[in-house]
Structures are given as C-alpha cells and as structure tokens.
Amino acid sequence: MVMPGPGAALERTERPVPEPGPGEAIVRVRGSNLNYHDLVNLMGLIDGPWPRVPLTDGAGEVVAVGDGVSGLAVGDRVVGAFHPEWLAGRLTRANGRATPGDTCDGWLQQHMAFPAAALVGVPSHLDDAAASTLVCAGTTAWNAVETAGVRPGDVVVTQGTGGVSCFVVQLAKARGATVILTSSSDEKLEIGRSLGADHLVNYTTQPEWERVVRELTDGDGADLVVDLGGTETLARSVKATRSDGHVAIVGVLSGFGMAQFPVSDAMVRQIRLFGVSVGSVAMLADLARAVTATGLRPHVGHTFDWSEVDQAKQLQQEQRHTGKITLAIP
C-alpha cells in the first residue's frame, strides 16, 4: 500500500516482486504493526520521498538472496531493523539516516527488498506479526534498560501502557527489577500488572506521581525512569529518579515543544538523561536472543488485516489500545 503524498489516503497498488540486489534479501512479509512514529507518518508529518510505502516494522520469510549474502538462507524467518545502516556501536548522523517507511519504502507490502545485514532471526515462539513488534517498540525498550544497566534489585518506572512501556515492564522484570507503572486508566494498569508491574500509579488521581515513586522507594527514587511523555512529564521524571540514576527520553506523546525540568536537581544528584532513537541492528539481535531465552511474548492488544490499516490507525489515534496494534499481511 502506498502513500501518494503527505497525509493522503493509502492506495493499494500492484508491483512486480523485486529481485535482490547485491547484499540484499527479499522478504515475503507476513506481519507488521503500528508505532506512534507510523501514526505521525500516516498523518503526513514526516518528510520523505513520495509516493512511498509506510511502516517501519515488518517480519516474514526470506524468499531470495542476492550476491554476497552470507549467514542468511531462503526459508529463514526474519525481522528488519528500524535503522538498517546502524549495524552496531554509536549512532551517527550517517548511520541513523535511513528508516523504512520514511526515507524509502516500508513494510506495508507483501515483498520487501532489504539489506541482508540488517535482518535478524525471529524467535521461533512468536508469529510474524508479534515478532515485528521487536523492531521499534521492543528495541527502544531494550536500549533504555540496557543503557541504564538495569540489574536485579533496581527500580524502574515506565509511563503508560503502549508498546514501548509494556516491553519495558517485561524486560525489566526479566532482569529482576521492581517495576512501577503509571497510567491514566485503572483498567490499563491492570493489564500492566498482568505483565509483571509491581506497583501501579494512576496519574489522574495522583498527579504528583513522582512523590508516590519516592514514597515507594523510601525516599530514594527509581534507578531508571523511562519517559514517554516528553514536555509535560520530563520534570516529574527527573524528580522521581534517585541520585546517580537514569532518565531515558523515549517519547514525545505530550507534544514537540521545549521541556522544562529542574536542571540544578539533575546536576546536584548527578542524574543521567539520555535520548533513545530505537537502536542498532546489534541491539535488535540481542533483544531477539533475550526474547528466545525468556519466552517473552509481546503484549498485542489488537490485530487487524492489512486492508484494515485505517481502522488500526484510528484506534491508535484515539489511544484506545494497550500494547501493540499488529497487522497480518496475507
């Protein structure tokens, strides 16, 4: 399916199955999902070449490989990285530039030509739609907990019950951490509890949720706060963090404006704030291995056929979902 222009309705088109170029593989796509990034893209708010196929995430089966490809064979089940040129190491302007669905065609199609070096094997216990959620939401959560060095006994706070936050709950619990989850919905908080959250905080009834975090930690604060709100939550996230702790800046759900936070507090208590731009191919591979080892299953709240992408988009736009909204591609 193709976006003909900024904010335009998707159009279904027919194209020939691509042939793999050197270093490429052709993936028969079977599953994808919607991220907040995709919602913004579908609204026409991300510049790029037009027309183009949307969606950053996808999973399926390799059906052809090009010259020079090793370690990958026809029949392998794979997912493709969010930043296909960021193989490992540090993020740079150059290796972070390419993103499927933004700078080139994305995964809302049946056959995808993709750099073989940026494809990662799928955990065998996941179907393709669920596996696709490892690409953006899963890798973002992995990057946050890995960069902060979360270990047994740590306290992790995460905000909301979207895809990234649900992954944070599951990954932090797998590392032996105590998890505090915030949300405006008691019903959604209970879903978080089922995923392993230890403490639930409704920020509608307890708007100063950072105080609750400090009370739950004997006044110390959390080792890691994963901030998804951005401008309206960053100050509280800093206040909820212990001395020498971490704040992972992951989302901008409250808008793209300038955030204000207590700079002196962050300085005196030596709090480390770091941004997360999903992650590298190596991080996606590490996550896939961890998911295989633990048997983790991403929380999928809704699944649609790819022809129902408009309904999926509306559900996400209205924030009526929990976890991930996936798409099956027949």
pTM: 0.96
Query: Is the CB of residue 163 less than 8 Å from the CB of residue 324?
Result: yes
Structure confidence at residue 256 as a pLDDT band (50, 70, 90): low
Q: pLDDT tens digits, residue range 45-76? A: 999 999 999 999 999 999 999 999 999 999 99
Collapsing DSSP to helix, strand or coil, 282 comes out as helix
* 176: Cα within 13 Å, side-chain hemisphere: 4
* Phi, psi angle pair for 274, to nearest 5°: -140, 145
Domains of the chain: 24-133+298-328 (3.90.180.10), 141-275 (3.40.50.720)
Q: pLDDT tens digits, residue range 68-119? A: 999 999 999 999 999 999 999 999 999 999 999 999 999 999 999 999 999 9
- Residues 136 and 81: their CA atoms lie apart, in Å, by 8
* 254: Cα within 13 Å, side-chain hemisphere: 16
